[in-house]
Amino acid sequence: MTLFLSRPRPQRIAALPAMLLAGTSLTVATMHPAFANDQPLNATAKVQRGFKPFPNFAPLVTIVKPAVVSVTVHFKINNTAQTGNQGQPRSPFQFPFSIPFPHLQKPQPVEAKGSGFFISPKGYVVTNNHVVKNAKSVFVTLSDGQRLIAKIVGTDPSTDLAVLKVTRSKPFPFLELGNSKKVLPGQWVIAIGNPFGLAETVTTGVVSALGRDIGDGEYDSFIQTDAPINEGNSGGPLLNQKGQVIGVNTAILTPSGGSVGIGFSISSDMVKRITTELIKYGHVNRGFIGVQAQDVSPEMATALGLKSHDGHADGALIDETEPSGPAAKAGLAPGDVITKLNGKTVKDVRDFALAISEVKPGDAVHVAYDHDHHIKSTTIKVEKFPANAQAAFTHVSASTQQKAELGLVLTLLTPSNRQQLNLPMTAQGAVVVHVAPDSPADQAGIRSGDVIVGIGSAAITNPGEVIAAIHNAETHHAKAIAVRIMRDNQAIFVAIPLPKANAKK
């Protein structure tokens, strides 16, 4: 039995001290007019006399439920290795979407369930990409039990969103996408979905945090909530108290497979932009300026001589530019640090990626960047993100030489090792053939097989240039050196501390 304890009315609060001062006399307590009709104490009666439980989501849920649907997917699998994200955990993160019969070893038709909701009376349904990925057929079940065949209008794996379309003779109830910029930690939220096949399940909680990066993709910026989200909730709405969708439930942090109060939702502002593109084009057109970048760590800030605060330096460090890309044409080069886009500070790579992705191809973006300790600015015309962005980059990366103090042994990049490392024949640089254990290079993360292609913003073509650049940095009493390497066909910067400089401190 649940006991609702009411808050005393104002007049009772005022009378309470007088009652206590009078001692514990039963006569004094029963004579007080505020309690005259409450013998014996009836908490239920007090609730019925005007106490309103807070919060009461029942009226809201009654109105919005018809706009929330169950999504059923049919597909074939050979074994669990072929199911992708559908029900398979990414430790410690797991998408809340389940597959029955996970141990089937031969091709079988499999039915799986997720959630979704209408965003238009015309029958457009939002759900997660991982819910409908590899689907052979998709069905949507309404709150009244009606089951409709759904067409996949478009999907966006980068944000894990998908749009479906169903039709019938009369309009569909739908939910309004709210403004996620107004969402605050601590506010009440409601999640509605189809966990474990239990349709129209309602859970409540609060917003725990904003802008969470869970390492799922470059556009991560999730709303974290403690409203219970479980397998099958994927694609369902996260609502505010106005009945507006502020997020789409997509992932959970769980050591057990069930909800532990840490769930993640895609923000409604992102959902608006992505679903609009999917409905219009069937895919998302993202901005592209032709750079690969990384965060500026404290060590890298020291190596590049950048200002940092609280152990962090703002900006996105360019690892590589696509030779014929917009950024390269505008004069940006590896080693430059992008600090602002259209006047807004770039805090990190995720901030940078989100900002560029939201620029419409064909539009221009004003970029401020640090180049060799000088702040420069330029305007870049943003292009459409290519189908295979990685392929757009052409990587420019004698005898064996070594730098004993750093623990590096280097050799010239030859046609043979270019082929071994799967590099283009035009690639130049110095191959790391050995890293001394516990050396500065080892501690910085350099490993055998890395190709040093640059020191700071200067390109490297051979081991001798690496040694010369390190000597030059030591001569100028640098504390660390920024080394640009190619690893697994990807360019990154690594900061290596200089022992001589550190020894002088």
- pLDDT tens sequence across 387-419: 544 444 433 333 455 666 788 888 877 766 676
For residue 260, the tally of other CB atoms under 10 A from its CB is 14
Domain containing 318 — which CATH number?
Answer: 2.30.42.10
**Shared-domain flag, residues 162 and 234:** yes
Q: Which of 284, 305, 335 is the last residue of a domain?
A: 284
Angle at 192 between CA 189 and CA 198, to 5 degrees: 145
Q: Which of 391, 418, 452 is the last residue of a domain?
A: 391
Residue 42 belongs to a domain: yes
Domain that holds residue 445: 396-503
**Shared-domain flag, residues 245 and 116:** yes
**Shared-domain flag, residues 414 and 383:** no
Question: Could you report the per-residue pLDDT of 105-121, keeping only the tens digit for each?
Answer: 455 568 888 999 999 99
Residue 2 belongs to a domain: no
Residue 165 belongs to a domain: yes
Question: Could you report the per-residue pLDDT of 12-65, keeping only the tens digit for each?
Answer: 333 333 333 333 333 333 344 444 444 556 665 655 666 565 678 888 888 999
Task: Count CA atoms within 13 Å of residue 389 on its CB side.
Answer: 15
The answer to whether the bond into 323 is cis (omega within 30° of 0) is no
On average, the pLDDT of the chain sits at 77
**Shared-domain flag, residues 63 and 93:** yes
> What mean pLDDT do residues 257-270 have?
87
Question: Could you report the per-residue pLDDT of 123-176, keeping only the tens digit for each?
Answer: 999 999 999 988 889 999 999 999 999 999 999 988 899 999 999 999 999 999
> Which amino acids are annotated catalytic?
130, 160, 234
Percent of the chain with pLDDT over 70: 75
Residue 1 belongs to a domain: no
Residue of 266, 261, 263, 268 lying closest to 242 (CA atoms): 268
**Shared-domain flag, residues 487 and 402:** yes
Q: Which of 284, 310, 328 is the last residue of a domain?
A: 284
User: From CA 358, how far away is CA 361, in angstroms rounded?
Assistant: 9
Question: Could you report the per-residue pLDDT of 55-109, keeping only the tens digit for each?
Answer: 788 888 889 999 999 999 997 654 443 444 443 323 344 455 443 434 434 555 6
In the chain, the number of structural domains is: 4
> What mean pLDDT do residues 223-233 have?
89
Residue 5 belongs to a domain: no
Question: Could you report the per-residue pLDDT of 464-488, keeping only the tens digit for each?
Answer: 888 888 888 888 888 888 999 988 8
**Shared-domain flag, residues 180 and 254:** yes
**Shared-domain flag, residues 156 and 63:** yes
Domain containing 179 — which CATH number?
Answer: 2.40.10.120
Residue 53 belongs to a domain: no
